[in-house]
Structure 1
Amino acid sequence: MQILKVIGLLMEYPDELLWECKEDALALIRRDAPMLTDFTHNLLNAPLLDKQAEWCEVFDRGRTTSLLLFEHVHAESRDRGQAMVDLLAEYEKVGLQLDCRELPDYLPLYLEYLSVLPDDQAKEGLLNVRRSSPCLAVA
């Protein structure tokens, strides 16, 4: 499910590299997820600074729309740390190496992890996220 990795990239903070690769991203979306074509086209054809400001407004303003999955499940409890250790171990099992820039529960990173799993496991992982994250429950 390579499309999950692309969706994760689209959820990242907008940067110049994504805007430079927009034709490749659009081609992949058209081929693998045509229902996202209009969204991706609108995103990547808007001014980068506008989309950066919009991203900050949506994802940097509180827990409800946080891209940190365990924020929705564990908040600040001690269970969050162990959950991250467990998730990191799952990433390592499939060969994903984390750079120290993001926490293991960062949604785009989790989508990248799901993209390398067999389809049935990836779908189960998506269902788990949907159940745990209020901002994704309507999806």
Structure 2
Amino acid sequence: MNRAVVYQAASICLSYPDDRVLGLADVVGRALDESAPAAAASFAPLLRWWETTPASEVQRSYVDVFDLSKRHALYLSYWTDGDTRRRGQVLADFKQRFRDAGLVLGDTGELPDHLPLVLEFARHRPDEGAELLQSYRASLELIRIALAERDSPYAGVVAAVCATLPGRSPEDRAQAMALAAAGPPAESVGLDPYDPRLLPLEPTGGR
């Protein structure tokens, strides 16, 4: 499996589905068929949905799933650190890692632990990116399980990312929580871990 192709495809598919992103559906599908056929089936439900659903509905669904629900938050350190002092340092570490790799993120309006940004980094540096993703394996698995529970076509995309990492995925939420061990630290400044105010309530970044 070509991990770089999987990471790039997932980065696109988990980004806000504006006209540019939706216009890449055919390109993404062909790239997966040619370079990562084992992963292609996991992306197929989302790509088919994109092709058969009005763009406005796809966009509304994305906001509903990812922006208005903390259960599917794409911010990796949110699952492990909540809004703690430690998370501030973690976000700084993400930024530094990207700078060291020569990756210019641009003004996306997103935090550096936003999964599409991390996947873009992993596309450029597959080994280092896989190591970073593995360090947030519990976050990824909790996102995957929550999306699957919602019957969201995005679940397959996250599952494909998890499949590039060593070890089997947890079968259920209890196993994923065990993987997360103690969970978010208790020390916080103002907001508790998993507080919905941690997440954007309105679309950002030109949506």
Distance 2:40 2:126 in 1: 21
Larger mean CA deviation between 7-16 and 123-132 belongs to: 123-132
Q: Distance between the aligned counterparts of 1:54 and 1:84, measured in 2?
A: 27
Which of 116, 121, 134 is the matching residue for 1:113?
121
Q: % of aligned pairs identical?
A: 25
Task: Give distance in 1, aligned partners of 2:145 and 2:71.
Answer: 11
CA distance in 2, matches of 1:48, 1:63: 23
SS at match of 1:14: coil
Q: Tell me whether 1:103 sits opposite 2:111 in the alignment.
A: yes
Correspondence for 1:71: 78
Shift in CA distance, 35/135, structure 1 to aligned 2, threshold 3 Å: same
The question of whether the paired residues in 2 share the 8 Å contact of 1:4 and 1:115 is answered with: yes
Partner Cα separation in structure 2 for residue 30 and residue 109 of structure 1: 23
Pairwise CA distance, 1:5? 1.6
One-letter code of the match for 2:89? Q
Partner of 2:93: 86
**Alignment size in residue pairs:** 138
C-alpha distance in structure 2 between counterparts of 1:94 and 1:39, whole Å = 33
State the Cα distance separating 1:30 from its structure 2 match: 1.7
Q: Distance in 2 between matches of 1:136 and 1:130?
A: 10
Partner of 2:162: none
The TM-score normalised by the length of structure 1 is: 0.86
User: Which of 35, 50, 55 does residue 57 from structure 2 map onto?
Assistant: 50
Matched, 1:39 2:42: no
Q: Which has the larger radius of gyration?
A: 2
The one-letter code of the counterpart of 1:112 is: E
User: Which residue in the other structure is 1:19 paired with?
Assistant: 22
